[in-house]
Structure 1
Amino acid sequence: MRDPRPEIEDPRYEIRDPEPGIRPTPPARSRPTAHHRPAHHRQGKRTHTIDTTAPVVVRLATVIDAPLPTVWALHTDIDDWPAWNTGIDRAELDGPAAVGSSFAWHTHGLDITSTLRELLPMRRVVWGGTAEGVVGIHAWTFEQTDAGVLVRTEESWSGAPVDAATDELAAALKASLESWLGDLKAHAEQTG
């Protein structure tokens, strides 16, 4: 009988809280091979993505035992992030959730204004912004599997502050994204 849990094929992702049958893989700094690129890249379609050449790149993934619409709704209701995400104190979307819309948020002592760069309902959201000289680009993908919703997140940071404290900021970003995934998983599984 086939194991219903998804295999993570992309070596760039590290599984947060691995489950039996899901192999954690170390993040890779090199560009993925064509085999590992998502289908939309292999077919020549261009999507927004992180800066893979940035000094800090963090990639994580988790599986959430909740319906995809529940996970998607929680994650894309930006105004409600502070209700379930312990790392976010304030978040406010300016207008509807659409490509080009901006949102202001406060996390870990930083006031950030980000702009939605890509929004594919139930599949992918990408935003970017600059805070105190750090240029951040954050991509999230959502995939329904037999085991639940596979959520992948990847974020890049670049800029002079990152160049000056790469290891420290990489650790901070990883911890922040682990917390975000954990909070999303916990709330979605309670709600779902």
Structure 2
Amino acid sequence: MKKMMINGAASITGSENTEELFVLEGTVDVDRNAQVIVDLSIEIEASREIVWQIQTGVEQWPTWQKDITQVRLSGPIAIGSTFWWETHGLQIVSTILEVDPMKRIVWGGPAHGIEGVHVWSITPTPKGVIVNTTESWDGPPVAADPDGMSAALTASLNAWLAALKSTAESLQLTLAE
């Protein structure tokens, strides 16, 4: 594994901290040494284009994810762009760390003492796509309750994947009519 320093959300937003992320074969990965890592997948019967459009349309997230109440994006979906969002009453600042259009997006940053890195990938299948999400959490709140944090993250990501599936499959059916 090749290590590389990448400026994370903390340094982009003016903090002096620099986030250390792992790079595997030129792609940003979650922190494989983090106290919590959750890896989930779901099959979605919709095109890669539809799933990508929904997943990267961050300012539209509140329209299909009941747990996200607001989002503001600082620029295009591109490395270094930042978005501010609120979920479960928590305000989060995330910075886009990698974009491979129609295939993969990675964002990360600090939120309430938790350093998170979130990787999303979209892989075509004969019926549509498989969406895989892997997220790492580390920091004092995670150390205080790793099992509880893992359960919370798993529940949140399962809800996100279910909402993405429902939204994408509905849109795919609408466009097919």
Instruction: Name the TM-score class by shorter chain.
Output: 0.7 to 0.9
CA distance in 1, matches of 2:47, 2:26: 28
CA distance in 2, matches of 1:126, 1:108: 21
Identical columns (%): 45
Q: Which of 126, 142, 158 is the equivalent residue of 1:178?
A: 158
Q: How does 1:73-92 map to 2 (within 5 A)?
A: 73-92=53-72
Q: Which residue of 1 aligns with 2:4?
A: none
Q: Which amino acid aligns with 2:138?
A: S
Q: How does 1:138-157 map to 2 (within 5 A)?
A: 138-157=118-137
CA distance in 2, matches of 1:187, 1:72: 12
1:126 equivalent to 2:114? Answer no
Q: Kindly report structure 1 stretches of 4+ aligned residues shifted beyond 4 Å.
A: none
| Alpha-carbon distance, 1:64 to partner | 0.3
CA distance in 2, matches of 1:51, 1:87: 25
1:66-123 CA-partner distances (Å, limit 9, x unpaired): 1110000000000000000122111111111110000000011210000000000000
Q: Secondary structure at the match of 2:32?
A: coil
Contact 2:46 2:127 in 1 (8 A): no
Kindly tell me the number of residue pairs found equivalent between the two proteins: 150
Q: How does 1:20-31 map to 2 (within 5 A)?
A: none
1:137-163 CA-partner distances (Å, limit 9, x unpaired): 000000111121110000000001100
Q: Alignment RMSD, CA only?
A: 1.1
Q: How does 1:80-119 map to 2 (within 5 A)?
A: 80-119=60-99
Q: Unmatched 5+ residue regions in structure 2?
A: 1-22, 173-177
1:152-176 CA-partner distances (Å, limit 9, x unpaired): 0000000011000110010000000
**So what's the TM-score if we normalise by structure 2?**
0.83
**So what's the TM-score if we normalise by structure 1?**
0.76
Q: By percentage of residues, which structure has more strand?
A: 2
Q: Secondary structure at the match of 1:53?
A: coil
Q: Secondary structure at the match of 1:188?
A: helix
